[in-house]
Amino acid sequence: MSELAGEPRPAVPRLRAELVVNAAAGLGEGPVWDADGGVLWWVDIVGETVHRTDPRTGEDEILPVGRMIGAVALRASGGLVAAVRDGFVAIDPDTGRVELIAPVEAEDETTRMNDGKVDPTGRFWAGTMAVDHRDAAGTLYRLDPDLRVTPVISGTSISNGLDWSLDGRTMYYIDTPTQRVDRFAFDHESGAISGRTPAFSIPAEAGSPDGMTVDEEGYLWVALWEGWGVGRYSPDGRLDRWVDVPAEQSSSCAFGGPDLDQLFITTAQEGFPPGGKPNQPLAGGLFVCRPGVRGRLPFRFGG
């Protein structure tokens, strides 16, 4: 495990993220690139909305969902699938229709869905967490294309970053309070995971690991909540690159753009006083940088 993992002001190449949209999101999360439309989908969890942003023009459309929404993904059949407070829903962006397709902890109003992502075989993974952030109240779930829901990991606290290695044999996962990125062996056919082991840890003073994405070289980009940035790590935790973000609560990241060479970064202003913090006027905005490496197209649910 590298001693550099998570260093907040590292002696590695540093980039600076630039503003795309000053959205003032309460809790921006879950960016996913839609190559067909040339837009980025992302969510404001506490704002109960989905954003559709065109980075070429800065146009930002907002779709109300009517409940807390933790993550959104593309469907192979068109439209979106999302993880919301009471389960998984299908969203038709053209009509605004939101349809509950698989309830999860629907009767428990003390929990909500958080971050999620589609795996290489078209299954959608997302985890619940306590609204009051209490420990061990959540579960990581898997939604199969036949809409069957399977609880996979219980006793989680704040399910966050998910992604898969280039060969698809490893699933990376972040439960934020552990300060770790963990790895599992991933079975393509069944969707089962096994053999949980720590991949690397991030020191608390560097921020808390949140959303995550894997690039075309197999490195992990991890957003650091209260860390003012995003770090690029090798699978064993060597810090390779750093992106400075002018907001302390960097929440997630995803590659996009026509050449998949842009890194989009969501941020938040959770717990800020009314009017925000003077030193962070752009907190809650969507940011972007060109990190010098490309990403991958996101997997589609049911694809």
Domain residue extents for the chain: 14-289
Kindly report whether the global pTM for this prediction surpasses the value 0.85.
yes
pLDDT for position 11? 83
Q: How far apart are CA 210 and CA 121, in angstroms?
A: 23
* pLDDT for the residue numbered 10: 60
Q: Which of 115, 163, 175, 210 is catalytic?
A: 210
What is residue 9's predicted lDDT score, i.e. its pLDDT? Answer: 56
Residue type, 204: A
pLDDT score at 262: 98
Q: Is 210 a catalytic residue?
A: yes
Q: What is the CA radius of gyration of the chain?
A: 17
pLDDT on residue 1 = 30
Tell me, what amino acid is at 119?
D
For 52-100, the pLDDT digits (tens) are 999 999 999 999 999 999 999 999 999 999 999 999 999 999 999 999 9
The string of pLDDT tens digits covering residues 222-243 is: 999 999 999 999 999 999 999 9
| Per-residue model confidence (pLDDT) at position 3 | 36
Q: Kindly list the strands in the beta sheet with 39-44, ordered across the sheet, starting from the edge strand earlier in the chain.
A: 28-34, 39-44, 49-54, 59-64
Helix (H) or strand (E) holding 58, with range, is none
Query: Distance between CA 111 and CA 148 in Å, rounded?
Result: 20
Do 285 and 21 meet the contact criterion of CB atoms below 8 Å apart? yes
Assigned CATH topology for domain 14-289: Neuraminidase (2.120.10)
- Indicate the pairing of strand 159-164 with strand 170-175: antiparallel
Which segments in the chain show pLDDT lower than 70?
1-10
H helix or E strand, kind and range, residue 7: none
Predicted local distance difference test score (pLDDT) of residue 303: 79
Return the bridge partners of 170, or none. 185
